[in-house]
Amino acid sequence: MSHATTKENPNDINTKYIRKDGKRNPDIAIVKDQTNLEAIAESLTFLCLGFYLLMNENYAKHAVTLLDAFFVNESTRMNPNLNYAQFIRGPQNTTKLGRGEGVISARFLTRIANLLPLLTNYGGYNAIQQPVYNWFNAYLNWLKTSPVALEAANAKNNIHSWYNVQLAAIEQYVNPASPDIPNRLRHFFNQTVPKQIDRRTGDQPLESQRTRPFHYLAFNLQAILFLTELAYDYGIEIGPMTPPLIRSATCHISKFADDPNVDITVAARCAEIVVGRLEDPNNTCHNFIQRAHTCKFSEKLSGPKNALSILWS
């Protein structure tokens, strides 16, 4: 999702990396951490909803097994930090740590944190509920204090947006009454969004200038809408200019629907949220959704990143 790098000489781990915007480091195929995190978030979504809606404890039982392996069991669990995410090998990495951009690799943790309250009525969850809470609390502290995480906090583009998504959503799980959540949301919508979206055109210049403009435009808009839904959930006024800016940004990315080689399905959920929450002048978003359902990538609409609405527990 973020900047990637490649090596000049794949046989020499000390060779300087070269930045290739929009391309992934081929070394990512060796490390499956992000893929595994996305997979467990997807599985937990359906397992937790299956238990909550159908009251079938088999779903909850398997969800607890996955949570135990990923967050509790000392021999298998993930460490509650991203100290080495998007790590650059070689002597040029003087900090021996990862990069702030790596924070977006764990954005699916927000989905998991949002699902956990659905398991509170399952007795088998009691044994791991506190350790899981402790894990997310430790990760939240890492987000607030780590030099790597603070690089993401100081970014201007989608990295900053997704950092705020994690910070707000995980804090909602750990401490839903925290005043930091509404304060952070107000600051994001009053200060950040007007800088990210051109109020005249709806463009997001920091994303549209990238090598894969549609991908990054939609990616940042997803984060903004995630925080918008959270703000609505808290009853927070997000500022008079924010809804028009979000609507304009959605209309702007809909212009890419005419390119048959661009997978526009990744933005379909964004358009659906805008249609449900805001005005849709000239049916721009509605028409975009229809195009997504008829484009050659339409089968992806049922995929893991688009299947379900945001669930606020």
Does 307 lie in the same domain as 265? yes
Q: What angle do CA 111, 186, 153 make, to 5 degrees?
A: 60
Q: Which two tokens stand for residue 120?
A: 């509170």
Instruction: With residue 18 as reference, give the H or E element that holds it.
Output: strand 17-20
Q: Which residues contact 206 (CB under 8 A, 6 or more apart)?
A: 156, 157, 158, 196, 220
Does 101 lie in the same domain as 227? no
Helical ranges in the chain per DSSP H: 33-54, 57-67, 109-115, 126-145, 147-153, 158-174, 180-187, 193-196, 205-208, 213-234, 242-253, 268-277, 284-294
Q: Report residue 193 CA to chain centroid gap.
A: 17
Does 124 lie in the same domain as 225? no
The CA distance from 285 to 250, in Å, is 7
Does 150 lie in the same domain as 185? no
CATH code: domain of residue 16: 1.50.10.100
Does 282 lie in the same domain as 162? no
φ, ψ of residue 143 in degrees (nearest 5): -60, -35
Does 187 lie in the same domain as 149? no
Query: Helix/strand/coil (H, E, C) string of 131-194?
Result: HHHHHHHHHHHHHHHCHHHHHHHCCCCHHHHHHHHHHHHHHHHHCCCCCHHHHHHHHHHHHHHH
Does 151 lie in the same domain as 252? no
Domain boundary among 157, 176, 195: 176
Residue with tokens 């919508």: 189
pTM above 0.85, yes or no: yes
The 10s digit of each residue's pLDDT in 189-240 is 999 999 999 999 999 999 999 988 999 999 999 999 999 989 988 888 888 8
Q: pLDDT 10s per residue in the chain (313 long)?
A: 334 444 444 444 555 666 676 666 666 666 677 788 999 999 999 999 999 999 999 999 999 999 999 999 999 999 999 987 776 666 666 666 667 788 999 999 999 999 999 999 999 999 999 999 999 999 999 999 999 999 999 999 999 999 999 999 999 999 999 999 999 999 999 999 999 999 999 999 999 999 889 999 999 999 999 999 899 888 888 888 888 999 999 999 988 888 889 999 989 988 988 888 887 878 999 999 999 999 999 988 865 555 444 454 3
Does 298 lie in the same domain as 192? yes
Residue with tokens 């956990």: 116
Does 139 lie in the same domain as 201? no
Domain boundary among 154, 176, 198: 176
Give the domain extent around 202.
179-313
Structural domain count, the chain: 2
Domain boundary among 120, 151, 176: 176
Q: What is the pLDDT of residue 3?
A: 40
3-state secondary structure of 5: strand
Residue with tokens 């975009």: 288
Q: What is the pLDDT of residue 64?
A: 98
Q: What is the pLDDT of residue 135?
A: 98
Q: What is the pLDDT of residue 281?
A: 78
Q: What is the pLDDT of residue 13?
A: 52
Does 251 lie in the same domain as 135? no
Q: In the Cβ-directed half-sphere of 103, how many Cα atoms lie within 13 Å?
A: 29
Does 27 lie in the same domain as 159? yes
The CA distance from 71 to 88, in Å, is 26
Does 197 lie in the same domain as 170? no
φ, ψ of residue 192 in degrees (nearest 5): -85, -50
Alpha-carbon distance values, 191 to 1, 87, 233 (Å): 24, 30, 20
The CA distance from 184 to 3, in Å, is 26
